[in-house]
Amino acid sequence: MTSSIEGGAAGGAEPQRSGGTGEDLTRVPDLAHGAVMAGPVRTRRPVYVDLLPPCNAGCPAGENIQSWLAEQAAGRSEQAWRILVADNPLPAIHGRVCYHPCESVCNRAELDDAVSIHAVERYLGDLALERGWQYLPAAPPSGRRVLVVGSGPSGLSAAYHLALRGHEVEIRDAGDQPGGMMRYGIPSYRLPREVLDAEVERIRRLGVRITTGHRVQDLEAERREGGFDAVFVAVGAHLSKRVDIPAQDAGRIVDAISFLRSVASGERPLIGRRVAVYGGGNTAMDAARTARRLGADEALIVYRRTRAQMPAHEEEAEDAEREGVRINWLRTIKAFDGPTLKVEEMELDDKGFPQPTGRYQELAADTVILALGQDSDTDFLRRVPGVEVEKDGTVRVSPTMLTGCPGVFAGGDMVPAERTVTVGVGHGKKAARNIDAWLSGRVQPPSAKHPEAAFAGLHLWYFGDAHQRRQPVLPVESRVAGFDEVVGGLTPAAAEFEAGRCLSCGNCFECDGCLGSCPEDAVIKLGEGLRYRFDYDRCTGCGSCFEQCPVHAIEMVPETAS
């Protein structure tokens, strides 16, 4: 008899769950004759599927998080790192500064705590630096040259992915050192400079040339004179937005970006004992925390909306408050006559917008730091034919990151998107893929995505409570004494444990549950790493395999759909 066997991950159209009791076909033993009589016709059958884990779906850098977590859980750290850097060349950086949107959608949070993905990523990034792991060699030279303008996360990511594809890449940046806002905007207590330098150096060793102290002003001339076949522009958002605050000569007002840049460059600006920061974003939190480390006895943040409306991530605000920063909600600065700061109380209208009340307060401040957002310096692109620059300075790009000028791509903070390191790295990877296709005359098709694995589809009998392993942190009283890194890394044992908390949502991890539950021996184990197959001549469609599969790697589909 020829068997009908199905295995592996189901492809093609998305399967639909049929529901029902599963008793669609019975095999009734005929004790008198020793034969098996077929019962009703089977109306559904199990198939193996691969669904999209929510962490993978939520990662702006496009990392295959579930895959590298599985390797780390198995103790294969270098393999985990290599899977990670196939998408993101800066894991030691990301493990420190990414706001980990992957964790906010982690299904494990419905069970106990989300997997601390960023902590495991940092562990792998640090381990790679410690052990000197290098990227895989680049492809043979393509003969094509690409100019990358800007050495922030987006530019570095694009350069890395382009170099891997065999293209000759040069980064040109106006700063004295590479890194963009990672160097000049993120304080060292969050991102130590030796970590940033080591990650950048590894990209250099891949063959990427980085030229600093070079401000690109005539893009067409640089492209022509350098013989570049394509350009990726990612200049970042280094220009602080300004607001007109009446101030006397005694009032010192600085912008947050200039303030953080000067501190990152080794300077110690004089700010006095009392500092007010105007704004409610992550940069405002960094400016206030930095002021405390420079000796300010009082650091307060003035923000015109409520905590719920604050653009800063909650953990940033909580860290600032732990370090003695006070936050004044529903306040706006009207005038500064140092050392007196005049603020007006605000109230929210019925639509949630702050409105002036005419009630004023006076606060003490020696310095006001403006942290009201940043813009990109994209004026030099206005002279490039076909490039469209919006009123807010952002550049219009197609879904492939291509501007209106052939061969000129753009990404990172200078295009409309959330301005984070992780989003920038994702833009760089996407741009590199599309630049590579453009250089070879190909059309890069969009990547197909599997349906997402939701928590409701999991059967979590397999998993017990195992709460998240926490990273060590400096005591609050010692943080403001200097710029030492506040958050520490996981131990090897904790990193392996944390990776093992992953539920493997939507993808078989060979727990043998289906094999053990099948009453008809219709599940065939293929060997380690090869998963299973179904023998449909034995399968009755009872659904026991589906009902016990902890990760929703099995779906029951109508018989006609198979």
Q: Who's near 259: CB < 8 A, 6+ residues apart?
A: 269, 287, 290, 369
CB 428: neighbour CB atoms within 10 A? 33
Looking at the structure, give the CATH architecture of the domain made up of residues 54-133+458-500: Orthogonal Bundle (1.10)
- Is the pLDDT at 385 greater than 50? The verdict is yes
17 to each of 24, 44, 197, 555, 558, how far by Cα in Å?
14, 9, 51, 7, 8
What is the CATH topology of the domain spanning 241-374? FAD/NAD(P)-binding domain (3.50.50)
**Separation of alpha carbons 500 and 229, rounded Å:** 45
Q: Which of 305, 365, 301 is nearest to 335 (CA)?
A: 365
pLDDT tens readout for residues 490-525: 999 999 999 999 999 999 999 999 999 999 999 999
Q: Who's near 71: CB < 8 A, 6+ residues apart?
A: 77, 79, 80, 83
Q: Which of 237, 314, 320, 309 is nearest to 286 (CA)?
A: 320
CATH 3.40.50.2300 fits 5-50+508-561, yes or no: no
Same fold flag, 54-133+458-500 and 241-374: no
pLDDT-wise least confident of 167-171, 341-345, 349-353, 377-381: 377-381
**Paired tokens of 174:** 């106006």
First to last CA, the chain: 20
pLDDT tens readout for residues 330-353: 999 999 987 889 999 999 999 999
Please state whether 281 falls in left (phi above 0), alpha (psi between -120 and 50) or beta: beta
**Paired tokens of 3:** 């068997």
In this structure, are residues 542 and 22 in contact, taking their beta carbons and an 8 Å threshold?
Answer: yes
Q: What is the mean pLDDT of residues 362-385?
A: 89
CATH superfamily of 145-238+376-440: FAD/NAD(P)-binding domain (3.50.50.60)
The DSSP element (H or E) to which 184 belongs, if any, is: helix 181-184
Q: Report domain extents, the chain.
A: 5-50+508-561, 54-133+458-500, 145-238+376-440, 241-374
364 phi, psi to nearest 5 deg: -95, 130
Confidence category of residue 64, pLDDT binned at 50, 70, 90? very high
pLDDT-wise least confident of 79-93, 356-370, 548-562: 548-562
In this structure, are residues 366 and 271 in contact, taking their beta carbons and an 8 Å threshold?
Answer: yes
pLDDT at 21 (0 to 100): 33
229 to each of 347, 398, 439, how far by Cα in Å?
55, 19, 8
Mean pLDDT of the chain: 89
pLDDT tens readout for residues 248-276: 665 689 999 999 999 999 999 999 999 99
Q: How far is CA 32 from the centre of its chain?
A: 66
- Is the pLDDT at 282 greater than 70? The verdict is yes
pLDDT at 516 (0 to 100): 94
- Is the pLDDT at 379 greater than 80? The verdict is yes
Confidence category of residue 443, pLDDT binned at 50, 70, 90? confident
pLDDT tens readout for residues 5-53: 455 543 333 333 333 333 333 333 343 444 444 445 678 999 999 999 9
